[in-house]
A and B are shown apart, each in its own frame.
Chain A
Amino acid sequence: AQSVTQLDSQVPVFEEAPVELRCNYSSSVSVYLFWYVQYPNQGLQLLLKYLSGSTLVKGINGFEAEFNKSQTSFHLRKPSVHISDTAEYFCAAALSGGYNKLIFGAGTRLAVHP
C-alpha cells in the first residue's frame, strides 16, 4: 500500500536560517508528489509538485524540493525562512495524477523564531 512519511512532526528554526522538511514515500510504482502549506484554520495551498522530468522542483515563496527515486524521498527546502513561513506543511502522493486520490503525510509544523 502507498504511504507517505514525514519524519519530523515539528521543526523549529530561526528567521533567515535554512530549513529542510523531510518526506519519504513508499510505492512500487511511479508516483506524483506534492507539498502543501496550511495556515491556521485555512485550507491547503500548493507549494510545488513533481510529476516528471527534472528532479529539482521550484515552487512558490522560495521553496524547492528534490525528488530522489533511489531514496524514495521528496524533501522540501528553503535557503532562508521568514516569520511568515510559520505553518503546517504536508507532503502528499498520488498514483495517477494530482487530480486523483491523494495520500497525505502526518504533517510538519514549521515554527520560525525571530
Chain B
Amino acid sequence: GAVVSQHPSWVICKSGTSVKIECRSLDFQATTMFWYRQFPKQSLMLMATSNEGSKATYEQGVEKDKFLINHASLTLSTLTVTSAHPEDSSFYICSARAPVGYNEQFFGPGTRLTVL
C-alpha cells in the first residue's frame, strides 16, 4: 500500500513560537491531502483539505491565519501552527488521497505537538 510520512513525530515548543509539520506521500503523488486534529481520547476532526497548487479549504471554526497550510508539490503538504499556545497542544494527523483505484485515504503516523 501507499506510505505517508510525517515529520517530526513529536515536537515541544514554547508559547508564541511557530511550528511546521510536514506530510509526505513517499511512493505516490497526492493531489489532495487532509489535516486532522485529535485531542486525547477523542476522535479525529478534519481541519482542512489541502490541494496541490491552490489554497487550502478550511473547516468551519478553524482559524486560517493560525493554521497555515501549504501544498507546494504533489508529495508534500505542510501545516504551520503560528504563535502556538498551550491550547494548540494536540496530535496532528495528515492523510493523502490514494492513487486511482484505492478509493481511500492513507494516513500518516501523526505528530504530537506540546506547547509549553
Which A residues are closer than 8 A to B by beta carbons? 32, 34, 36, 41-46, 49, 51, 90, 97-102, 104-107, 109
Considering only CB atoms, which chain B residue lies closest to A42 in the complex?
A: B109
CB distance A90 to B104 under 8 Å?
Answer: no
B21 within 8 A of A: no
CB distance B104 to A104 under 8 Å?
Answer: no
CB distance A101 to B49 under 8 Å?
Answer: yes
CB distance A49 to B104 under 8 Å?
Answer: yes
Contacts of B6 in A (CB 8 A): 43
Considering only CB atoms, which chain B residue lies closest to A98 in the complex?
A: B104
Given A90-B43, A107-B42, check contact A102 B105 (CB 8 Å): yes
Q: How many residues of B contact A (CB 8 A)?
A: 25
Contacts of B4 in A (CB 8 A): 43
Q: List the count of A-B residue pairs having beta carbons below 8 Å apart.
A: 56
Q: How far is the CB of A94 from chain B (nearest CB, A)?
A: 9
CB distance A99 to B103 under 8 Å?
Answer: yes
Q: A43-B109, A43-B110, A44-B107 are in contact. List 9 more A-B contacts (CB 8 A).
A: A41-B110, A43-B108, A98-B98, A99-B32, A99-B97, A101-B46, A101-B49, A102-B34, A106-B43
